Structure 1
């Protein structure tokens, strides 16, 4: 497990959002430049941030990357749905 490498990849997305486009265009090629195990590569390729968090990746980084990859719509509830495997409802308007 190379948590530091995964976190570096996510951090680099934040530092240079053009990298997200490169990643999305060809995830396998993009990730080939890093030393990752199969589970990490699969989770990154599938943008399975919940699995990455379970492997020890910072949830602050996963939360930062979510809207960069998926767009800001539904944030934070779409992210919370993904992380919890449940539908998380917005609190009622007061």
Structure 2
């Protein structure tokens, strides 16, 4: 697994409300336009940020992407997930 493409996907989601909305509208279709391995796509689809950060995803990028998709008011959920 190369975390580079996953980071690119999540950076784009975190950086643009329009891109985040496109992901939310049809996550599988959105991810199909990126050269992700099946396992990577499943982790992104499942918002499995703990697994992704364990594999090298930048923590700040993960939190920004989570906030873009779930809302800033849910960051405590993100932090709980990281603790396991």
TM over 0.5: same fold? yes
Equivalent position of 1:46 in the other structure: 46
TM-score where L is the length of structure 1: 0.81
> TM-score with structure 2 length normalisation?
0.89
Assess, with a 3 A threshold, how the Cα gap between structure 1 residues 83 and 27 changes in structure 2: closer, same or farther: same
Provide structure 2 residue ranges, at least 5 long, that are not aligned to the other structure.
none
Shift of 1:14: 2.4
Higher relative contact order (CA 8 A, sep 6+): 2
Aligned residue pair count: 84
Q: Report which of the two has the higher share of helix.
A: 2
* Large movers: runs of 4+ above 3 Å: none
Task: Note the aligned Cα RMSD (angstroms).
Answer: 1.2
